[in-house]
């Protein structure tokens, strides 16, 4: 099963394999293997296809060498096994026969050379996938091996050819111990029928496992000559169960005969099975099954007869086998069989008849309705409803009055599923005169069907003297009430007898209004009734309003909060806490800040958390609401509830906020689970602060499954991107990282260093008078100028929470990006200045859009959150999770003839209004920096071949070599990643400079003086680019490491920077002289002609050493490498 699943997944991934060109590949086997393993395991279909393409270039000898690299048991063979197992399936695709043959040849060579038994077993598994007759001879030599016999036998069974079958039979006489059973089983699985006479002698062996396996094999082969030996074996155990599974084999033999078309012999076996003793029910059922498959509908009379058998299991099996043939005349035959069957079989027949939906079945079902057996009658009731439909209502009502509880439930179920029009009318007509028990059932059915026409009849029973009827009537109301019943319902509200009845009437009113086509009018009507009610009556309406949840219904509830009636106010708080939609949130938030009643606070916080969670607010807005709730929470239970709700909002701010509670002994467990859920649900959250919180979370996790959760989180931490991510601009303690504002960017640029220093001192003094920190919040008191970051920023993503004070007028602020106004913040009530458009727009724009797309501000005095993204001159702003500015150009306010500054400080605007900020984070976005030559290189005559913006100077494989998001020339391990990229121009003598960054196990190369065709490492020259320290390359030859002229001149090792860091390299070529300088150190200097005069180090032909000119190229080997700042100078 495991291999089947693997093969299915692989088949999906390789559904459209790329066509890779066959290349002249003169790499050594060691290099090919290292290059392959550097890409394993493949993470997606493209990378898997690339790895398979590399293996296509392997020779049989390379395949052998790869498999001989397997370590003994306990060693790490994962990469080799992943690659070879994948390839063993890959080569079985259409058009891959040459590759399959080569793979098998290499596998067989390795199989013969390797010593480790486990590794031999693994290779046999590969041959199970890819082997054909070409593997039979070698594999069969292991059939006598005590350890490998099983795998060898299974491999031959999978090959399933005559040659494989002959090899298995030939090995059988000399086989010993378990290998006998392995071979016997394999012969059966291979379906090698000529072996049947040979196997017969083993079917009577004394050893149980041999006998059992031989019987299994004979059953699989289904040779007619084997019938007697299989029958005799089954007879010996009286056709019952035994450890040799003789009876099961005889049954399987019959089934396989049927599959192979031998119906005559299959019938003979089946009839033998039917004659066994009654106690062997499964055996008899097997015979019945075989004969049904042979004769089909013709066998129905026999199945009917079998259904009368005293053995219940046998009779029901007969009925199930007949199910496909239950139509026409067969219905009557089965109907007549009901009378003579036992009760369980009767029930099964009745159910089967009802499924036919054939009217001819109805008389038999009607007879069964009179049965004294509850099981039969219950089944008949359900069948009657299915066959008769609504027309059967009178009979079902009659049955209802005569039934016991189990039968009553059956009638109710039948009514629930009844098809057709007019049912509810008939039920309503019968309701008043029915006995109490029937009235209860009828009302349950009416409620299930939402029968509004029953409202009058049901309400009449609200005064019933029978308490069960009265309760049922009240419970029915919410399901059947509509707008036209509101007057009656409001009247009932004041007359309901107890709390539960009141609740049900309230639910009925809510349901009526929610489903009303005139909802507004109905709400107005309820408001009028509310206003005319006395204080006690008003309390009854408040929960109705909370269930309706409309804005108009909210007003009277809020008004109550300003009154003096304590009971009414308590009811209003409860109503708000139970409100149906988020319209109540502002009022609940106000209450949470003012109430002194701990019980009410608990209700309020539950309401806030519930409404926040069920709202369609963006996650950013939900986080703001939950943080506010945490600020008023008084006990651990409330705080844990809030952290639990926070965990479903996968934002950076949510993770940071939850992380603050990891040090609280009572909350750390809830905080840890919140952090875990947020982090695992959003892998884009990373950075130093995130890593610190996640590592602390690992230690805080406890309880059931904590070990599993810790491992999952540790894995997540290890897989996080290595960049800095978001970093804090405000530490919550002081003004570190901030300074006062000195002029604007243009004027600052004109100042001397001394002038700027003096001005900065004065600005800092002024800044400290207006800006201060308290309780983790950065405040501006309305006096002074902007505050600015000391560091300057180019492209970035910024998160910041802000709040305008309710104190004073003209609320106004903003955020300057790259020293330029601004992302607007203001009080939206200031319509005189146009603030009604909302915050988040680029206020100072004149040519480009200045207004936000929508109003997304929270109320004045409440926290808001910005997410600001700036790339180039484009700005995108999200306010409280809603897009308000979409990729709009920010104009240069200070000089509109110039574009925005490429890099500058960020400022928080001072505009004479009190404002607060918190949680200010920034993530710098790498830019595609366009490389330009320095003055020295310009003067020296260098030319740029790649500046980060285009591949205009290059030709070749532009599928694998692309420009990355950060502006590098990147080679990715995808389809065609083994191809090369060449300069369009040819170069003879030159200085070539470039920067490169390796990934773990990376391998590439710089081709020089290369032609566009052939293997550049030999037809030209290759300067190796390699992660020297990768374990997979530890056994390379010295001329294969980084900087070497591949196969010719070795380079010194030890001068590469750590993987992931940028290296600088220069290649100097003049005539036969070559020099490679890495990070300032010469690692190779030599003479090509001198180094090869007595043959090259790799003993291969390198005609390219004699070339005087050619292309510069990147020679990919299927791994990720990045290059940049590529320039060349001709000599």
pLDDT digits (tens, 9 = 90+) for 166-185: 999 999 999 999 999 999 99
**Overall pTM surpassing 0.85 (yes/no):** no
Residue 570 in contact with residue 600, Cβ under 8 Å? yes
> Which are the contacts of 492, defined by CB distance < 8 A and separation ≥ 6?
459, 462, 505
Beta-bridged to residue 905, according to DSSP, are 792
Residue 248's SS3 state is: helix
> Quick one: 860 exposed, middle or buried, by C-beta within 10 A (0-12, 13-18, 19+)?
middle
Query: Tens digit of pLDDT for each residue in 1081-1090?
Result: 999 999 999 9
Residue 111 scores a pLDDT above 50: yes
Q: Of 55, 78, 184, nearest to 130 (Cα)?
A: 55
Is residue 656 within a helix (H) or strand (E), and if so which, with residue range?
A: helix 652-659
| DSSP-derived 3-state class of residue 272 | helix
| pLDDT, tens digit (0-9, with 9 covering 90-100), for 613-654 | 999 999 999 999 999 999 999 999 999 999 999 999 999 999
The 10s digit of each residue's pLDDT in 654-694 is: 999 999 999 999 999 999 999 999 999 999 999 989 999 99
CA distances from 92 to 127, 152, 535, 673 (A): 11, 19, 83, 47
Question: Mind listing the pLDDT tens digit for each residue in 1090-1101?
Answer: 999 999 999 999
Contact 662, 645 (CB under 8 A): no
- Which residue, chain included where needed, has tokens 């059931």? 704
Give Cα separations from 655 to 523, 627, 651, 703, 803 (angstroms).
Answer: 42, 12, 6, 21, 21
Is residue 972 within 8 A of residue 1120, CB to CB? The reply is yes
- DSSP secondary structure letter of residue 725: B
Dihedral angle sign, alpha carbons of residues 849, 853, 854, 860: negative
pLDDT of 15? 42
| Torsional sign, CA 579, 584, 585, 591 | negative
Strand partners, 879: 866, 882
Burial status of residue 88 (CB atoms within 10 A of its CB: 0-12, 13-18, 19 or more): buried
For residue 355, the model assigns a pLDDT of: 87
Of the candidates 365, 421, 427, the one whose C-alpha atom is nearest the C-alpha of residue 389 is 421
Could you report the per-residue pLDDT of 694-732, keeping only the tens digit for each?
999 999 998 777 888 999 999 999 888 877 899 999 999
Cα–Cα nearest to 650, from 619, 626, 629, 612:
619
Q: What's the 3-state SS for 371-429?
A: CCCHHHHHHHHHHHHHHHHHHHHHHHHHHHHHCCHHHHHHHHHHHHHCCCCCHHHHHHH
Token pair for 479: 């399901």
Longest dimension (CA), the chain: 118
DSSP code at position 836: G
Q: What are the pLDDT digits (tens) for 238-251?
A: 999 899 999 999 99
Give SS3 for 653.
Answer: helix
What H or E segment, with its residue span, contains residue 628?
helix 619-632
pLDDT of residue 17: 38
Nearest C-alpha neighbor of 22 from the set 979, 983, 1120: 979
Q: How far apart are CA 170 and CA 188, in angstroms?
A: 15
Report the distance separating Cα 22 and Cα 7, nearest Å.
Answer: 26
The reply to whether omega before 41 is within 30° of 0 (cis) is yes
Torsion of CA 187, 188, 194, 197, to 10 degrees: 100
> CB–CB of 332/362 below 8 Å?
no
Which CATH homologous superfamily contains domain 935-1130?
A: Exo-inulinase; domain 1 (2.60.120.560)
pLDDT digits (tens, 9 = 90+) for 792-847: 999 999 999 999 999 877 899 999 999 999 999 999 999 999 999 999 999 999 99
The pLDDT tens digits of the residues spanning 765-797 come to 999 999 999 999 999 999 999 999 999 999 999
Q: Are 317 and 309 in contact (CB under 8 A)?
A: no
Listed residue (609, 559, 599) closest to 579, CA to CA: 609
Q: At 741, is the secondary structure helix, strand, or coil?
A: coil
Give me 1117's structure tokens.
Answer: 């080997």
Residue 27's pLDDT band, with cuts at 50, 70 and 90, is: low
Residue bearing tokens 């807005």 = 621
Whole-number pLDDT of residue 20: 31
Q: Is the model's pLDDT at 8 over the cut of 70?
A: no
Q: What is the pLDDT of residue 979?
A: 67
3-class secondary-structure state, position 914? coil
Q: Is 447 helix (H, G, I), strand (E, B) or coil?
A: helix
Cα 1026 to Cα 996: distance, rounded to the nearest angstrom:
11
> What does the radius of gyration of the chain's CA atoms come to, in whole angstroms?
42
Q: Would you place residue 324 in the very low, low, confident or very high pLDDT band (cuts 50, 70, 90)?
A: confident
pLDDT at residue 2 is higher than 50: no
pLDDT of residue 5: 36
Q: Could you tell me if 888 and 845 are in contact, meaning their C-beta atoms sit under 8 angstroms apart?
A: yes
Q: Is the pLDDT confidence value at 88 over 70? A: yes
Q: How far apart are CA 115 and CA 40, in angstroms?
A: 25
Tokens of 860: 């004045």
What is the rounded average pLDDT of the residues 909-920? 93
The DSSP bridge partners found for residue 787 are 740, 908
Distance CA 174, CA 183 (A): 11
Residue 18 has pLDDT above 80, yes or no: no
Q: Average pLDDT over the chain, rounded to whole?
A: 91
Q: For the chain, which residues make up each domain, given as ranges?
A: 2-258, 768-924, 935-1130
Q: Please tell me the total number of residues recorded for the chain in this structure.
A: 1131
Residue 689 CB-half CA count within 13 A: 21
Residue 1117 burial (10 A CB sphere; 0-12, 13-18, 19+)? buried
Q: How far is CA 521 from the centre of its chain?
A: 47
Dihedral sign computed on CA atoms, order 779, 784, 789, 790: negative
Q: How far apart are CA 484 and CA 77, in angstroms?
A: 76
* Each residue's pLDDT tens digit, 287-310: 999 999 999 989 988 988 888 888
Assigned fold of 768-924: Jelly Rolls (2.60.120)
**Measured between alpha carbons, how far is 853 from 884 in angstroms, rounded to an integer?**
5
Phi, psi for residue 864 in degrees, rounded to 5: -125, 165
Q: Is the dihedral of CA 419, 421, 424, 426 positive or negative?
A: negative
Report yes or no: 266 and 257 within 8 Å, Cβ to Cβ. Answer: yes
Residue 1007 Cα distances to 34, 578, 917, 971, 1051, angstroms: 20, 73, 56, 15, 16
* Whole-angstrom distance, CA of residue 938 vs CA of residue 935: 5
Compute CA distances 161 → 104, 606, 1122, whole Å: 16, 71, 50
Residue 87: HSE in the Cβ half-sphere, 13 Å Cα cutoff: 30
Phi first, then psi: give them for residue 222, nearest 5 degrees. 55, 40
Q: Please give the helix or strand (H or E) that residue 571 lies within, else none.
A: helix 566-577
* Alpha helices, H only, 863-996: 935-940
3-class secondary structure per residue, 753-767: HHHHHHHHHHHHHHH
- CA dihedral sign of residues 83, 86, 92, 94: negative
3-class secondary structure for 962-994? EECCCCCEEECCCCCCCCEEEEEEEECCEEEEE
Q: What is the CATH number that goes with domain 2-258?
A: 1.25.10.10
Tell me if domain 2-258 and domain 768-924 are identical in fold.
no
């Amino acid at each position: 099963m495991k291999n089947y699943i693997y093969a299915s997944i692989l088949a999906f991934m390789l559904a459209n394999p790329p066509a890779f060109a066959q290349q002249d590949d003169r790499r050594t086997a060691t290099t090919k293997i290292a290059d392959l393993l550097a890409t394993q395991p493949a993470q997606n279909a493209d990378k898997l296809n690339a790895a398979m393409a590399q293996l296509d270039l392997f020779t049989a000898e390379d395949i052998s060498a790869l498999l001989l690299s397997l370590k003994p048991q306990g060693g790490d063979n994962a990469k080799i096994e992943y690659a070879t197992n994948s390839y063993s399936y890959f080569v079985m695709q259409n058009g891959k026969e040459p590759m399959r043959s080569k793979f098998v040849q290499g596998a067989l060579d390795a199989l013969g050379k390797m010593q480790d038994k486990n590794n031999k077993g693994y290779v046999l598994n590969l041959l199970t996938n890819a082997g054909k007759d070409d593997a039979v001879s070698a594999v069969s030599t292991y059939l006598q091996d005590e350890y490998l016999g099983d795998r060898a036998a299974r491999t031959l069974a999978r090959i399933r050819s005559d040659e494989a079958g002959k090899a298995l039979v030939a090995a059988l006489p000399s086989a010993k111990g378990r290998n006998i059973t392995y071979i016997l089983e394999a012969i059966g699985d291979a379906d090698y029928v000529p072996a049947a006479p040979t196997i017969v002698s083993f079917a009577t062996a004394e050893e149980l496992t041999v006998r059992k396996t031989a019987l299994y094999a004979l059953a699989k082969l289904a040779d007619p000559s084997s019938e007697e030996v299989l029958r005799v074996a089954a007879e010996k155990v009286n056709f019952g169960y035994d450890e040799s599974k003789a009876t099961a084999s005889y049954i399987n033999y019959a089934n396989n005969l049927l599959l192979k078309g031998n119906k005559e012999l299959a019938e003979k076996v089946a009839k033998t099975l039917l004659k066994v003793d009654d106690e062997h029910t499964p055996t008899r059922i097997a015979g019945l099954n075989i004969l049904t498959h042979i004769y089909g509908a013709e066998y129905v009379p026999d199945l009917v007869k079998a259904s009368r058998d005293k053995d219940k299991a046998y009779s029901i099996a007969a009925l199930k086998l007949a199910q496909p043939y239950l139509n026409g005349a067969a219905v009557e035959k089965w109907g007549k069989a009901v009378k003579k069957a036992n009760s369980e079989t009767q029930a099964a027949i009745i159910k089967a008849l009802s499924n036919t939906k054939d009217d001819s079945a109805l008389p038999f079902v009607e007879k069964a309705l009179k049965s004294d057996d509850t099981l039969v009658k219950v089944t008949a009731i359900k069948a009657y409803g299915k066959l008769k439909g609504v027309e059967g209502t009178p009979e079902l009502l009659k049955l209802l009055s005569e039934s016991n509880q189990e039968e009553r439930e059956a009638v109710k179920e039948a009514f629930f599923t009844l098809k057709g029009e007019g049912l509810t009318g008939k039920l309503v007509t019968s309701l008043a005169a029915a006995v109490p028990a029937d009235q209860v059932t009828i009302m349950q059915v009416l409620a299930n069907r939402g029968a509004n026409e029953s409202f009058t009849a049901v309400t009449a029973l609200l005064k019933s003297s029978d308490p069960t009827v009265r309760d049922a009537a009240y419970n029915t109301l919410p399901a059947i009430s509509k707008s036209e019943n509101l007057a009656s319902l409001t009247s009932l509200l004041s007359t309901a007898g107890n709390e539960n009845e009141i609740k049900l009437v309230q639910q009925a009113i809510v349901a009526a209004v929610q489903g009303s086509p005139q909802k507004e009018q109905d709400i107005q009507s309820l408001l009028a009734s509310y206003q005319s009610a006395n204080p006690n009556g008003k309390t009854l309406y408040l929960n109705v309003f909370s269930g309706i949840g409309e804005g108009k219904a909210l007003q009277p509830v809020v008004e109550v909060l300003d009154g003096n009636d304590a009971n009414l106010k308590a009811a209003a708080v409860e109503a708000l806490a139970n409100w149906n939609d988020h319209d109540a949130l502002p009022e609940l938030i106000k209450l949470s800040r003012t109430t002194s009643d701990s019980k009410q606070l608990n209700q309020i916080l539950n309401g806030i958390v519930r409404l926040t969670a069920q709202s369609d607010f963006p996650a950013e807005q939900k986080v703001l609401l939950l943080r506010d709730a945490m600020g008023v929470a008084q006990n651990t239970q409330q705080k844990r509830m809030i952290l639990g709700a926070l965990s479903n909002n996968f934002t950076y701010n949510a993770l940071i906020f939850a992380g603050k509670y990891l040090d609280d002994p009572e909350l750390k467990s809830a905080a840890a689970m919140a952090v875990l859920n947020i982090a695992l649900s959003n892998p884009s959250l990373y950075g130093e602060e995130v890593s610190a919180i996640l590592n602390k979370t690992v230690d805080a996790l406890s309880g059931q499954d904590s070990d599993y959760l810790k491992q999952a989180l540790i894995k997540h931490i290890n897989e996080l991107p290595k960049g800095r991510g978001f970093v804090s601009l405000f530490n919550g303690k002081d003004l570190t990282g901030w300074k006062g504002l000195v002029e604007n960017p243009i004027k600052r640029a004109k100042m001397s260093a001394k002038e700027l220093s003096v001005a900065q001192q004065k600005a800092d003094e002024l800044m400290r008078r207006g800006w201060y920190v308290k309780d983790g919040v950065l405040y501006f008191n309305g006096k002074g100028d902007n505050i600015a970051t000391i560091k300057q920023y180019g492209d970035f993503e910024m998160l910041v929470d802000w709040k305008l004070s309710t104190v004073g007028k003209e609320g106004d602020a903003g955020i300057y990006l790259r020293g330029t106004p601004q992302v607007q913040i203001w009080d939206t009530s200031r319509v005189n200045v146009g603030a009604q458009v909302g915050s988040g727009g680029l206020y100072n724009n004149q040519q480009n859009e200045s207004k936000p797309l929508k109003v997304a501000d929270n109320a004045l005095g409440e926290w808001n959150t910005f997410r600001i993204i700036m790339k180039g001159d484009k700005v995108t702003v999200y306010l409280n999770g809603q897009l308000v500015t979409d990729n709009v150009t920010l104009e240069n306010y200070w000089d509109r003839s110039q574009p925005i500054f490429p890099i500058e400080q960020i400022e928080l605007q001072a505009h004479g209004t009190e404002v607060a900020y918190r949680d200010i984070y920034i993530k710098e976005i790498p830019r595609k920096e366009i490389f330009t030559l320095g003055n020295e290189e310009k003067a020296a005559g260098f030319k740029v071949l790649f500046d980060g913006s285009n591949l205009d100077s290059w030709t070749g494989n532009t599928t694998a070599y692309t420009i990355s998001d950060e502006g590098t020339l990147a080679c990715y391990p995808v389809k065609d990643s083994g191809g090369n990229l060449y300069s369009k121009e040819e170069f003879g003598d030159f200085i070539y400079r470039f920067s490169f960054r390796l990934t773990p196990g990376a391998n590439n190369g710089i081709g020089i003086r290369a032609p566009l065709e052939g293997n550049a490492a030999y037809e030209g020259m290759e300067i190796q680019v390699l992660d020297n320290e990768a374990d997979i390359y530890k056994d390379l030859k010295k001329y294969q490491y980084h900087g070497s002229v591949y196969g010719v001149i070795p380079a010194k090792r030890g001068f590469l920077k750590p993987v992931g860091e940028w290296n600088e390299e220069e290649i100097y070529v003049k005539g036969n002289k070559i020099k490679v300088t890495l990070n300032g150190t010469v690692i190779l200097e030599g003479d090509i002609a001198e180094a090869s005069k007595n043959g090259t180090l790799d003993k291969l032909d390198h005609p390219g050493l004699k070339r005087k000119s050619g292309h510069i190229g990147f020679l990919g080997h299927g791994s990720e490498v990045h290059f940049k700042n590529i320039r060349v100078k001709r000599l």
